[in-house]
Amino acid sequence: MSEQQIRELMAAREVAMSARDASTLGSHYAPDVVAFTLAPPLVHRGAEVIDVAARKAWFETFEGPIEYEIRDLEITIGGDIAYSHALNRMSTTPKGAPAGFELWFRSTVCFRREDGEWRITHVHDSVPFYMDATLRAAVDLKP
């Protein structure tokens, strides 16, 4: 049952991202959440992660649809603590950009069960980089 609840939570996140539903996304976090996202700064904490108005403003930086996919989701549960890892895909067009982008990235999400419901306590998203002279992000990788 617990694994199914987490899978449902992650599926709801997938839908909420595509629907630009900032309220649903914010409702999934524990108050003490820590997030290492793709966008600066290096760390986001608590209210900053949950802030619905800030997430709505972020959604407004994109034109047209946002496609969001969570693939190869694996979940491990131990009591009231769980973690997952997956490959995620986001595809959209930044406002003013000549073209859109598609990006695959790695995502690890940690959960804590509170009052029978799973809440996200930690998110770590990352993009690999080429360890050559360019040091550029490897945004052209696909699973």
Q: Tell me how far apart the alpha carbons of residues 73 and 143 are, in angstroms, rounded to a whole number.
A: 13
- Mean pLDDT across the stretch 51-71? 97
Q: Are 117 and 126 in contact (CB under 8 A)?
A: no
Q: What is the pLDDT of residue 11?
A: 98
Contacts of 53 (CB under 8 A, 6+ apart): 22
User: What is the chain's mean pLDDT, rounded?
Assistant: 97
- Report the alpha-carbon distance of residue 46 to residue 93 in Å, rounded: 28
Per-residue pLDDT, averaged over 8-21, amounts to 98
Render pLDDT for 66-119 as a digit per residue (tens, 0 to 9): 999 999 999 999 999 999 999 999 999 999 999 999 999 999 999 999 999 999
Q: What is the pLDDT of residue 136?
A: 95
The predicted structure's pLDDT at residue 89: 98
pLDDT value, residue 27: 97
Kindly indicate the confidence band of residue 44, based on its pLDDT and cuts at 50, 70 and 90. very high
Of 142, 120, 93, nearest to 37 (Cα)? 120
What is the rounded CA–CA span in Å between residue 94 and residue 21? 18
Residue found under tokens 């290096």: 42
For 91-105, the pLDDT digits (tens) are 999 999 999 999 999
Look at residue 1 and tell me whether its pLDDT is greater than 90: no
**Secondary structure of residue 114 in the 3-state scheme:** strand
pLDDT at 117: 96
DSSP letters along 27-77, please?
HTEEEEEEEE-SSSSS-EETHHHH-HHHHHHHHTTEEEEEEEEEEEEEEEE
